[in-house]
């Protein structure tokens, strides 16, 4: 059943205009890398790739926006138009439905984000001997996209305004508050992702320096992913009860 839900959700996502928009956004980091490669810049390729291309453009912008739009569409559209009731009427464990929806959103997010990071990174780092930073970010992006997708799937089940709530989290909490309020970074998926990328990629502080420790970031991102996925299963079960009363 998980595979069936996964396939149906992927078809649904691929047929939406927002997916084409996200693919277009994924080309922006690649274009930036091409401009850097053929332009005249005073910063090193490693510094540009780590700090601007992978962190600023992809971790800070492309990753959360892609996960938000795809994860909220994966199940939120069915909740809004009421068709989720037909899925819930089948004798299927609710965790299987959530697992299928979450896997579809995560997989679609991975394709767009990792393709942008990999191609942009290869272009920017052409001729360099140290590629560890790219590998570190690729692994961190895979983990971070799962955490974001799980959070936004949960939001889709909690509120009909999941897209706006997600945008508030991304832009207000992660872009504004975490940059000005000390200690708030400890509650940011973006910061968890960046710290994991730094630990695996092992860049020098002059190239890229994350704010959080590696152990804390790994534990925190696992807790966030498991907790939000578990709450999504619980909420979906409660949703069925409410609908059948």
Domain count, the chain: 1
Q: Around Cβ 145, how many Cβ atoms within 10 Å?
A: 27
pLDDT category of residue 4 using cuts at 50, 70 and 90 = low
Closest listed residue to residue 122, CA positions, set 23, 56, 202, 45: 45
List, as one string, the DSSP characters of 63-90: HHHHHHHHHHHHHHHHHHHSTHHHHHTS
Mean pLDDT within 150-155: 95
Give the structural domain span for 119: 2-244
Closest listed residue to residue 109, CA positions, set 195, 26, 166, 8: 26
Closest listed residue to residue 210, CA positions, set 65, 56, 44: 56
pLDDT digits (tens, 9 = 90+) for 161-211: 889 999 999 989 988 888 787 788 888 999 999 899 888 887 666 567 777
Residue environment code for 102-121, b if the CB has 16+ CB neighbours within 10 A, otherwise e: bbbbbbbbbbbbbebbbbbb
User: Would you state the structure tokens that stand for residue 139, as one six-digit string?
Assistant: 């692994």
Most confident of 28-42, 69-83, 213-227: 213-227
Q: Is-contact 105 38, C-beta < 8 A? A: no
pTM of the model: 0.89
pLDDT of amino acid 86: 67
pLDDT digits (tens, 9 = 90+) for 57-79: 999 999 999 999 999 988 877 77
């Amino acid at each position: 059943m998980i595979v069936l839900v996964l396939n149906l959700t992927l078809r649904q996502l691929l047929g939406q205009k927002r997916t084409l928009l996200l693919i277009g956004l994924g080309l922006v980091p690649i274009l930036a890398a091409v401009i850097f490669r053929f332009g005249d810049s005073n910063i090193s390729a490693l510094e540009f790739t780590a700090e601007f291309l992978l962190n600023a453009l992809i971790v800070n912008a492309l990753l959360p926006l892609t996960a938000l739009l795809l994860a909220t569409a994966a199940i939120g559209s069915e909740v809004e138009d009421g068709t989720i009731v037909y899925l819930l009427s089948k004798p299927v464990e609710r965790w299987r439905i959530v697992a299928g929806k979450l896997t579809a959103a995560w997989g679609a997010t991975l394709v767009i984000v990792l393709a942008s990071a990999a191609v942009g990174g290869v272009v920017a780092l052409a001729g360099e001997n140290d590629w560890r930073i790219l590998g570190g970010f690729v692994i961190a992006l895979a983990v971070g996209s799962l955490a974001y997708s799980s959070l936004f799937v949960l939001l889709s089940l909690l509120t009909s305004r999941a897209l706006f709530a997600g945008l508030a989290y991304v832009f207000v909490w992660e872009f504004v508050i975490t940059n000005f309020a000390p200690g708030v970074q400890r509650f940011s998926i973006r910061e968890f992702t960046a710290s994991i990328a730094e630990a695996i990629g092992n860049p020098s502080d002059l190239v890229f320096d994350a704010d959080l420790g590696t152990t804390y970031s790994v534990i925190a991102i696992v807790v966030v992913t498991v907790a939000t996925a578990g709450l999504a299963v619980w909420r979906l079960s409660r949703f069925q009860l409410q609908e059948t009363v």
